[in-house]
Amino acid sequence: MQPRIYTYKITFEEVPYYYYGSKKEKYFNQTYWGSPVTNKWCWELYTPKKQILEIFDYSDEGYSKCISVENRLIKPVLNDPWCLNESCSNFYSLKTLSNAGKKGGKITGTKNKKESRGIFNLTDDERKKNSGRGGLKTVKLKVGLFGMTKQQLLKNSKKTNSQRWECCETGYISTAAGVVSYQKGKGIDTSKKNRKQIS
Q: What is the CA radius of gyration of the chain?
A: 19
Are the beta carbons of 8 and 53 closer than 8 angstroms? Answer: yes
- The C-alpha atoms of residue 41 and residue 72 are separated, in whole angstroms, by 25
What is the rounded distance in angstroms from the CA atom of residue 66 to the CA atom of residue 64? 5
Name the range with the highest mean pLDDT among 76-90, 122-136, 157-171, 184-198.
76-90
> Is the model's pLDDT at 173 over the cut of 80?
yes
Residues linked to residue 19 through DSSP beta bridges, in sequence order: 10
Residues 124-151 have pLDDT tens digits of: 666 556 555 555 555 565 655 556 676 6
Q: How confident is the model at residue 58 (pLDDT cuts 50, 70, 90)?
A: very high
Distances, alpha carbon 128 to alpha carbons 69, 131, 135, 196, in Å? 24, 5, 11, 41
In the predicted structure, residue 31 carries a pLDDT above the cut 80: yes
User: Residue 88: which pLDDT band, with cuts at 50, 70 and 90?
Assistant: confident
Evaluate if pTM is beyond 0.75. Answer: no
CB within 8 A of 106, min separation 6: which ones? 100, 113
Is 182 in contact with 167 (CB distance < 8 Å)?
Answer: yes
State the average pLDDT for the chain: 78
Higher per-residue confidence, 37 vs 119: 37
How do the domains of the chain map onto residue ranges? 5-156, 163-197
What pLDDT does residue 163 have? 80
What is the pLDDT confidence band of residue 164, given thresholds at 50, 70 and 90? confident
